[in-house]
């Protein structure tokens, strides 16, 4: 009897799911490297809810979290060809494809997270969103990625000198490789999903990221020192495949854009809460957090990165506009 009830329940649940799925004329597949519950994943789910409501259930979004569709660099490729409809990634892995994304991936380009918000919500952000289009993507919205700092398994990093010769994983972009070289360390560009085991086995000494990523990836379990030098504030971006976009009516395109935009404040709220929760969890696990750090020498060391990467008038102008934003 109990088994019958369970089976009937399961069948009903399956039927309900099929009906719900059947109501969607179109389900946009969206990729994210982070696990379920992470603010970026939840933000795109929220966007999906809005879109479903506003299109009377015609357009839905399914978020494939936890890198189910692959590591960021590969999913970016697949998004271009419309195999994946939407993708939430860091701007870093886009640097070598869409040069405008470089300006917001430069070390210490923003004065802080509030400054980053003002820039991304303003005309520079608008220009960057538009810059995706000739490359096969439609820029929909920017999300928060906090500030990134170094963590490692060897020792507390208290100055640039401590970084000398250390093997540090970076995202796959030339800017970050040059940033590490400028700091006297050895950059190891790797996909995110390989970082945990690479630290564990000693292939690398450490990596760099924000509180929520440091925590949710479990990297804090293998890297016991976290230095809050905050060298990068790289916003996240939500893009849509231009191939998928072109299949939508103009009206539906507007609905997609608006739903993405409306998910931003919700994401920002979730981000702040998650940063706090992640910090608490990491500290409770006994990670040594180095907060007393003089950032001035780190900033000064970045001149060579700017000289090498900010060469065109277009990028120079964008950096100047970022700096001029109050
Ligand atoms: C995270 C970011 C991811 C990914 C990751 C990385 O902060 O949210 O999109 O880029 O960093 O370091 O690869």
Between the CA of residue 302 and those of 75, 98, 305, 314, what are the distances in Å? 30, 22, 5, 20
| Residue percentage of the chain with pLDDT more than 70 | 93
Q: How confident is the model at residue 4 (pLDDT cuts 50, 70, 90)?
A: low
Instruction: Name every residue whose Cβ is closer than 8 Å to that of residue 275 and which is 6 or more positions away in sequence.
Output: 146, 210, 211, 212
| pLDDT at residue 240 greater than cutoff 50 | yes
| Ligand 1 within 6 A of CB of 33 | yes
How does pLDDT run across 272-320, given as a tens digit for each residue? Answer: 999 999 999 999 999 999 999 999 999 999 999 999 999 999 999 999 9
Q: What are all long-range contacts of 52-55, with beta carbons under 8 Å and residues at least 24 apart? A: 52/24, 54/255, 54/258, 54/259, 55/252, 55/255
| Ligand 1 within 6 A of CB of 173 | no
Q: How confident is the model at residue 8 (pLDDT cuts 50, 70, 90)?
A: low
Protein residue whose Cα sits closest to atom 10 of ligand 1 = 90
Assigned superfamily of 18-146+235-278: Bacterial extracellular solute-binding protein, family 7 (3.40.190.170)
Q: How confident is the model at residue 28 (pLDDT cuts 50, 70, 90)?
A: very high
| pLDDT at residue 27 greater than cutoff 50 | yes
Per DSSP, the residues of 151-216 read EESS----SHHHHTT-EEEE-SSHHHHHHHHHTTPEEEE--GGGHHHHHHTTS-SEEEE-HHHHHH
Cα of 192 from ligand 1 centre, angstroms: 7
Query: What is the DSSP pairing of strand 137-143 with strand 236-241?
Result: antiparallel
| Ligand 1 within 6 A of CB of 32 | no
Please name every residue paired with 90 in a beta bridge, in sequence order, or none if there are none. Answer: 236
| pLDDT at residue 32 greater than cutoff 60 | yes
| C-alpha closest to that of 204 among 221, 182, 185, 178 | 185
| pLDDT at residue 21 greater than cutoff 80 | no
3-state secondary structure of 246: coil
3-state secondary structure of 65: coil
What's the CA gap between 36 and 68, in Å, rounded? 11
Q: What residues does each domain of the chain span? A: 18-146+235-278, 148-233+283-324
Q: How confident is the model at residue 56 (pLDDT cuts 50, 70, 90)?
A: very high
Cα of 60 from ligand 1 centre, angstroms: 25
134, exposed or middle or buried, with CB in 10 Å at 0-12, 13-18, 19+?
Answer: exposed
Instruction: Name every residue whose Cβ is closer than 8 Å to that of residue 260 and which is 6 or more positions away in sequence.
Output: 47, 140, 141, 238
| pLDDT at residue 204 greater than cutoff 80 | yes
Cα of 8 from ligand 1 centre, angstroms: 42
Same CATH topology for 18-146+235-278 and 148-233+283-324?
A: yes
How does pLDDT run across 125-154, given as a tens digit for each residue? Answer: 999 999 999 999 999 999 999 999 999 999
Around Cβ 16, how many Cβ atoms within 10 Å? 10
On whether the CB atoms of residues 177 and 169 are closer than 8 A, the answer is no
How does pLDDT run across 152-203, given as a tens digit for each residue? Answer: 999 999 999 999 999 999 999 999 999 999 999 999 999 999 999 999 999 9
| pLDDT at residue 7 greater than cutoff 70 | no
* pLDDT recorded at residue 23: 82
| pLDDT at residue 1 greater than cutoff 70 | no
CATH topology of domain 148-233+283-324: D-Maltodextrin-Binding Protein; domain 2 (3.40.190)
| pLDDT at residue 3 greater than cutoff 80 | no
What is the average pLDDT value for the chain, to the nearest integer?
94
């Amino acid at each position: 009897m109990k088994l019958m009830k369970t089976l009937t329940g399961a069948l009903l649940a399956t039927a309900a799911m099929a009906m719900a799925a059947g109501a969607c004329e179109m389900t946009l597949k969206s990729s994210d490297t982070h696990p379920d519950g992470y603010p970026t994943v939840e933000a795109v789910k929220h966007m999906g809810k809005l879109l479903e409501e506003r299109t009377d259930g015609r357009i839905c979004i399914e978020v494939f979290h936890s890198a189910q569709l692959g590591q960021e660099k590969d999913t970016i490729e697949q998004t271009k060809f419309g195999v994946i409809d939407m993708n939430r990634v860091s701007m870093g892995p886009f640097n070598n494809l869409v040069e405008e994304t470089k300006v917001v991936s430069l070390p210490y380009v923003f004065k802080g997270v509030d400054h980053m918000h003002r820039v991304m919500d303003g005309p520079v952000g608008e220009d960057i969103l538009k810059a995706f289009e000739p490359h096969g993507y439609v820029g929909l919205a920017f999300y928060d990625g906090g500030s990134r700092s170094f963590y490692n398994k060897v020792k507390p990093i208290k100055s640039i000198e401590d970084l000398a010769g250390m093997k540090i994983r970076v995202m796959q972009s030339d800017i970050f490789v040059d940033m590490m070289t400028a700091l006297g360390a050895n950059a190891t560009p790797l996909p995110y999903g390989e970082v945990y085991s690479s630290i564990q086995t000693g292939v690398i000494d450490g990596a760099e990221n924000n509180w929520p990523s440091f925590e949710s990836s479990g990297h804090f379990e293998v890297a016991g020192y976290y230095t809050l030098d905050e060298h990068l504030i790289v916003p996240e971006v939500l893009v849509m495949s231009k191939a998928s976009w072109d299949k939508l009516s103009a009206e539906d395109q507007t609905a997609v854009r608006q739903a993405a935009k409306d998910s931003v404040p919700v994401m920002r709220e979730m981000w702040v809460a998650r940063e706090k929760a992640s910090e608490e969890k990491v500290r409770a696990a006994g990670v040594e957090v180095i907060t007393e750090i003089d950032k001035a020498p780190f900033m000064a060391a970045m001149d060579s990165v700017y000289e090498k990467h900010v060469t065109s008038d277009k990028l120079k102008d964008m950096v100047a506009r970022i700096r001029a934003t109050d």
